[in-house]
Amino acid sequence: MHEQTLLEQAQALQDGEVSSVELTQFYLNRIQAHDESLNSFVTVTGAQALAQAEAADRARSASEAGPLTGVPLAHKDIFCTRGVRTTCGSRMLDNFVSPYDATVVERLQAAGMVMLGKTNMDEFAMGSSNENSYYGPVHNPWDSERVPGGSSGGSAAAVAARLAPAATATDTGGSIRQPATFCGVTGLKPTYGRVSRFGMVAYASSLDQGGMLGVSAEDCAALLGTMAGFDSRDSTSVDHPVPDYQKELKQPVDGLSLGLPKEFFDDRLDARIRASVEEAVAAWEGQGAQLVEISLPNLPLATPAYYVIASAECSSNLARYDGVRYGHRCADPEDLEDLFCRSREEGFGAEVRRRIMIGTYALSAGYREAYYDQARRVRQLIRRDFQQAFEKVDAIAAPVSPVLPFRLGEKTQDPVAMYLIDCYTIPVNLAGLPGLSLPARPVDGLPTGVQLIGNYFDEARLLGLGAAWQRETDWHRQVPPGFA
Amino acid sequence: MDLTAETVRGIAKLARLRPNPEEEQRLIQDLSAILEFFAQLSEAEVDGIEPMAHPLEVDQRMREDEVTEPDRREDYQEIAPDAREGLYRVPAVLDSD
């Protein structure tokens, strides 16, 4: 049953081959059997899941079921869930039970989907390896000594090991696409403003975007159709019509132009990953796409610009954790200042404190112009590079990560080296564009991936190219050996 | 560029953090390396370029000045570390004398 895609399971539910309670219990059993070694879940909501599944089965008997009713999924522990704790991978929120649901959670629940639990992640979504979680690292299902990527490492590992048919995730600088490629699953970061950020714990608000990880591009399309859309509770949500993604992704590849930016195929890229990416590109060419060499000249400055902006916004966003209204509070504070400082020092992990510090510095008097404003100007240049590229091409193909999944502990001592891993995903967040990560030919048993970048609100085109590639290949269908 | 211990302490104060001496040393090293990494931004030619705020150049949206949320004070205070009678409790802010 776990080898099916989410849409195949939805069909099986519709055909009465399985009930939601059976399907949900099946996944809860898999989580119980396998997650001790992966650590992909922070919280498993077994009782609630079965209650939701029973409700879904009742809705189906009453002919009130929608296309996704009764299908289980997991939520990244960054999305607020009323009555179920939301930790964001942090000691700061270890005891936090949100009084409301995130819009994403609300919409998927309204569609009848069943929540299996909340997945592990880098603390406050800051990290590229899932080693920054207060709840311990997540292990890559393809090789338990390697990282699953981050920050949505728990969601990616859970979907790869088929402990959930799909999972929500978020992407500020690559946190959906990079773990997708490290774990061999499909991941979509939509256009900035496409999916509501309401109830999604904020890290860097001008970059954060919710999306999903699934087995196939078609599964992602089905979820996006439910998650996307205007939300008055998110001031940066964009009022733009939501197309029927599942229908639109059937558009032919023939006649599309696909840009290959030379800055993405530079000497940082592992030659074996390059070969996997080129194989995917050749497949699209074989389906009638026209390949165009392009250049995005300001790309080399994307990573430093991103870390200035993200750190600055994080220092401002995380100022809300004060030990007063919710979250961790230190014991026996001497005075108010002591309460603030010790609660924060104890509640935040090392990487979060590092980013708060660097962001505070970049925004402080005398440095704002040189760092924050300069970075936002570079960001403008990068967006223009992409806009010019999209005058010539319909989509851009690129690698997702320059390196294969690395070993746990390999890069934890050098923050800058860790930051550079995101060099191919970050530019997409800076410009606010949609990006899709698709599994490609593995290297030595480790997953690799190819990234498609689209113009604003062009998710359907990316998903269509992804579905066309997945009809010809079965990399996305492969399950790690220990989880077959 | 190498940050001094004094600068790191100043930033920590602004950020309401309190690193211990060992961490302070680590931060001097890490933050200096990160700032060195940021230094390449000064090479960018940005004359006449406006700093970017929103990817889609959307203006801040206005809404009607109407109450849309119910009063759920008790729900929100239930998760506070120390709240009583509708108030958040913190150590005394004013001297008693």
Closest CA to A418 of A426, A429, A410, A428: A410
The whole-angstrom distance between A331's CA and the closest CA on chain B is 11
- The nearest alpha carbon in chain A to B60 belongs to A235
Quick one: which H or E segment has residue B88?
strand B87-88
Closest CA to B11 of A262, A187, A364: A364
Q: What is the pLDDT of residue A160?
A: 98
- Please identify among residues 28-57 of chain B the ones whose CB lies closer than 8 Å to any CB of chain A: 30-31, 33-35, 37-38, 40-44, 46, 49-56
Domains of chain B (ranges, CATH numbers): 5-41 (1.10.20.60)
B42-55: pLDDT as tens digits: 999 999 999 998 88
Within 13 Å and on the Cβ side, how many CA atoms surround A138?
Answer: 38
The terminus-to-terminus CA distance of chain A in angstroms comes to 11
Tokens of A415: 């923050």
Rounded to whole angstroms, how far apart are CA atoms A287 and A290? 9
B18's CB contacts (< 8 A; 6+ apart) are A341, A342, A344, A345, B12
Backbone angles phi, psi at A27, to 5 degrees: -70, -40
Catalytic residue among A20, A40, A76, A276: A76
Q: How many angstroms away from the CA of B97 is the closest CA of chain A?
A: 16
Rounded to an integer, what distance in angstroms lies between the CA atom of residue B7 and that of residue B13? 10
The pLDDT tens digits of the residues spanning A177-194 come to 999 999 999 999 999 999
Among the listed residues A199, A121, A229, A280, the one whose alpha carbon sits nearest the alpha carbon of residue A459: A229
For residue A131, the one-letter residue type is E
Ranges of residues in chain A whose predicted pLDDT is under 70: none
Burial A34-61 (b: 16+ CB within 10 A, else e): bbeebbbbbbbbeebbbebbbbbbebbe
Q: Report yes or no: A35 and A159 within 8 Å, Cβ to Cβ.
A: no
Q: How far is B34 from chain A (nearest CA, A)?
A: 6
How many helices and strands, by DSSP H and E, does chain B display? 3, 2
- The residue ranges of every structural domain in chain A are 6-258+392-483, 300-375
As given in the structure block, the two tokens for residue A303 are 């990573």
Enumerate the β-bridge partners of residue A97: A85
Distance of CA A411 to the CA centre of its chain: 21
According to DSSP, the residues that pair with A74 across neighbouring strands are: A167
* pTM (2 d.p.): 0.97
Closest CA to A175 of A221, A209, A140: A209
A315 assigned to active site? no
pLDDT given at position B53:
83
Best mutation site among A357, A413, A418 for testing chain B: the one with the most B CBs within 10 Å? A357
Quote ipTM for the complex.
0.94
Structural tokens at position A86: 């939301």
For domain A6-258+392-483, which architecture applies? Answer: Alpha-Beta Complex (3.90)
The CA-atom distances, in angstroms, between A266 and each of A180, A262, A297, A418 are: 22, 7, 12, 18
Q: Give the list of residues 6+ apart from residue A67 with CB closer than 8 angstroms, or none.
A: A10, A14, A111, A222
Query: Which pLDDT tens digit goes with each residue over B1-27?
Result: 689 999 999 999 999 999 999 999 999
Residue B95 has pLDDT above 80, yes or no: no
Residue A212 identity (one-letter amino acid): M
Residue A191: other Cβ atoms inside 10 A: 24
Distance between CA A296 and CA A262 in Å, rounded? 8
- Residue of B20, B23, B34, B57 to mutate for A, most A C-beta atoms under 10 A: B34
State pLDDT tens for residues B32-81.
999 999 999 999 999 999 999 888 877 777 888 999 889 999 999 999 99
Mark whether A76 is an active-site residue: yes
Cβ of A380 and B76 within 8 Å?
no
Per DSSP, the three-state class of A99 is: coil
Among chain B residues, CA nearest to A377? B51
Structure tokens at A147: 């990282």
* pLDDT for B22: 94
pLDDT of residue A365: 87
The answer to whether B56 contacts A238, with C-beta atoms less than 8 Å apart, is: yes
In the residue annotation, A411 being an active-site residue is answered as: no
Alpha helices (H) along A228-288: 245-248, 271-286
Q: Give the model's pLDDT for residue B94.
A: 81
